[in-house]
Amino acid sequence: MSVLFFFPWIASHGAMQLGELSLIPYEHGKAPGTIYGVSQEIIDAVLENYGDVAFTPSLNAFTNVRKATLITWADDADGLDLPESQIFVRLEQARYIAFSALAQRRFCSHGGYCNADGYQIIAQGFVAERPGSISITTRRRDGFTRTYISRTSSPRFIRPEHVNSSLHLEIDETLARALLELPLGNLKNRIDDAIEKYLLANTDSASMPPHAELVLMRSAFETLLGASYNKNDLCNKFIEHFRGELPNPPKWGNGVFTEACWRKRWPKTTRPLNAWVEDFCDARNSAAHGARANGQSSIWQSQNHLLFSAWLFPLMVKKVLVDVGLYQLSDEDLAARKGCEAFLAHDLLSPNHEDTNECWWNHVERELSLSQLAATLTSLVDPQGKK
C-alpha cells in the first residue's frame, strides 16, 4: 500500500532537509506537484479528508486544509509504496520533529507556542486509483480494527479547537538532526520512549487531564534518566545529570516559595532542584493515588509542575545527547540549565508584583536571558576593556 506522511495542521514557509528526511510545503492545488510518482491531484485527494472550520459564509461548515507539511525520505519508493513494518519506524522519526518543535516553544507569550496535537503526524494509506478513499486503523483492547472510508464531499477529520489555526513549521533543527542520528540500541529506545510520554503529556487536549499528564511526565523523566519508580533513585539521577552545572553553594530565590518554605516541607533536601523533584513526585503520587488523609500537600500546584517540567525536559534530552557526542549545548541552553532553579521560588503564572502585565515565568526567563547576554558580552571583552 502507498503511504503519505504529513502534518495536517502545520504550514511550511519552505522545504527543510534533515538528513534522509525532507519536510515539504503543501498547498492545495499548487504544491509540491508530483513527488515519487504521486501527482498533486492524488496528494490533494488524500489531504481533502482533513479540514478546518469554515469562517466565511458557506454551504459547508468545514473547509479542506489549504496548507500542510509533507514528510518524505530519501529511500522512498516510486508511488510511496511502503511495507507496513516500516510505518512505525518512520512515525518514530516524525515524532522527533514534533518534539523539536515543542523544545523551542515559548511560554506565557503571544506567539511561539505550540502543543503536541498541533504536530500530530498522519501516516495515511491510500491507493492511487481511489486516493480520496482511505483506510483507518484504530486500537482495541483485543487488537485493532481497520476501516475503509470512501471519499466524501467534506473533510472527515477537523483541526482540534486547542490547536492554533495558524501554526507554521518551527523546530530546533540542531536537536532534530541529533535525534535522527541516534544509533539503534538501548539509549535510542530509552529516549524514544521518554519523548513519546512527553508528547502525550503536552497535547493540551481536554481528554488528557492534568493528573494524567503529571503521571506521564514523571514516567518520562524516569525513562530518560534510567531511574526506577523509587523517588530517591530519581532524585539521585537528577543530581548526577546536573552535576557541576548548578550554583554551589545552592542559590535559593526570594519569591513566595522561600528556602524556609521548601525546607519545611522537604527537610532533607540539599538544594532547590532536589526539593522540586521530591515535590514533583509527591504531586504525581497524589494525582495517581489520591491525596493521603491528613497528609501535607505539595508546595507547587500541578500547573506549576507541568509548566516547569515541560520546559526542563527538552534541556535534559539535549544533555543526554551531549554525553554521547551528538549535540552541543548552546549558550542559551547552558544559561537555562544553570539558572533553572530560579523558577522554583515563584508561583509561575501569578502576576509579577513589579508589573501586573507580566507573570513570574516571564520575569525569571528574562533574568536568565539578561544573565546569558552579560556573560556573552564579558567573553567578548578582554581584561583591559578591548575587543
Shared domain check, 353 and 262: yes
Total number of domains constituting the chain: 2
Residue in 250, 256, 253, 305 with CA at minimum distance from that of residue 276? 305
Q: In the listed set 142, 158, 174, which residue is the last one of a domain according to the structure?
A: 158
User: What is the reported pLDDT for 53?
Assistant: 82
Angle between helices 173-180 and 302-323 (to 10 degrees): 60
Residues 6 or more apart in contact with residue 229 via CB below 8 angstroms: 222
- Here the cell at position 268 is 532533607
Q: What are the E-state strand segments in the chain?
A: 2-7, 16-18, 21-27, 50-53, 62-64, 67-73, 122-126, 134-140, 143-149, 157-158, 351-352, 355-359
Q: Is the pLDDT of residue 49 over 80?
A: yes
H or E stretch at 342: none
The confidence score (pLDDT) of residue 132 equals: 83
User: What confidence tier does 294 reach under pLDDT thresholds 50, 70, 90?
Assistant: low
* Band (386; pLDDT cuts 50, 70, 90): low
CB neighbour list of residue 146: distance below 8 Å, 6 or more residues apart: 135, 136, 137, 138
pLDDT confidence of residue 283: 95
Rounded to whole angstroms, the Cα distance separating 70 from 198 reads 23
The backbone torsions φ and ψ at residue 3, rounded to the nearest 5 degrees and listed phi first, read -135, 130
Q: Are 304 and 310 in contact (CB under 8 A)?
A: no
Q: Which range, 45-54, 92-101, 291-300, 369-378, is most confident?
A: 92-101
| Domain end (from 126, 158, 190) | 158
Nearest to 158 by CA among 248, 32, 64, 85: 64
Q: List the domain range (segments joined by +) for residue 19.
A: 3-158
Look at residues 60, 57, 71, 81 and name the one whose alpha carbon lies nearest to residue 180.
Answer: 71
- My answer on whether 203 and 240 are in the same domain is yes
User: Looking at 98, 125, 158, which one is the last position of a domain?
Assistant: 158
The answer to the question of residue 43 being in a domain is yes
Could you tell me if residue 164 is inside a domain?
A: no
At residue 78, the pLDDT reads: 95
Answer whether 366's CB lies under 8 Å from 332's CB: no
Q: Is residue 386 part of a domain?
A: no
Q: Select the more confidently predicted residue: 234 or 357.
A: 234
Is residue 387 over pLDDT 80?
no
Distance CA 222, CA 233 (A): 9
Mean pLDDT value of segment 95-113: 96
Per DSSP, the three-state class of 204 is coil
Check whether 130 has a pLDDT greater than 80: yes
Asked if 250 and 324 sit in the same domain, the reply is yes
Give 56 or 26, the one with higher predicted confidence: 26
Under the banding of pLDDT at 50, 70 and 90, the label for residue 301 is very high
- In angstroms, rounded to a whole number, what is the distance separating the alpha carbons of residues 299 and 258? 11
205 with 97, same domain? no
Question: What's the full length of the chain, in residues?
Answer: 387
- Mean pLDDT over 156-184 rounds to 96
Contact between residue 114 and residue 105 where contact means Cβ atoms under 8 Å apart: yes
* Confidence category of residue 356, pLDDT binned at 50, 70, 90: confident
193 and 116 fall within a common domain = no
pLDDT digits (tens, 9 = 90+) for 186-205: 999 999 999 999 999 999 99
Looking at the fold, whether 129 and 258 belong to one and the same domain comes out as no
Across the strands, what pairs with 123?
5
Q: Evaluate whether residue 165 is within a structural domain.
A: no
Determine, yes or no, domain membership for 173: no
Residue 353 lies in a domain: yes
Cβ-Cβ contacts under 8 Å for 336 (sequence gap 6 or more) = 315, 368
* Statement: residue 383 has pLDDT above 70: no
Alpha-carbon torsion (197, 199, 202, 205), positive or negative: negative
pLDDT in tens, 260-290: 999 999 999 999 999 999 999 999 999 988 8
188 with 150, same domain: the answer is no
Do 24 and 115 belong to one domain? Answer: yes
Same domain, 231 and 376: yes
Report yes or no on 349 lying in a domain: yes
Share of the chain above pLDDT 70, in %: 96
- Please check whether residues 297 and 193 belong to one and the same domain: yes
More confident residue, 143 or 70: 70
- 168 part of a folded domain: no
DSSP 74-106: TTPPGGGB--HHHHHHHHHHHHHHHHHHHTT--
Same domain, 376 and 303: yes
Judge if 243 and 289 occupy the same domain.
yes
**Is residue 154 a contact partner of residue 60, using CB atoms and an 8 Å limit?**
yes
For residue 380, pLDDT over 80 is answered with no
Q: Tell me the C-alpha distance between 114 and 92, whole Å.
A: 19
Tell me if 261 sits within 8 A of 353, measured CB to CB.
no
Pairing label, strands 62-64, 50-53: antiparallel
Per-residue model confidence (pLDDT) at position 59: 62
- Does the pLDDT value for residue 104 go beyond 80? yes
Q: What is the pTM of this model?
A: 0.93
- Residue among 127, 340, 309 at smallest CA distance from 220: 309
Confidence at 328, pLDDT banded by 50, 70, 90: very high
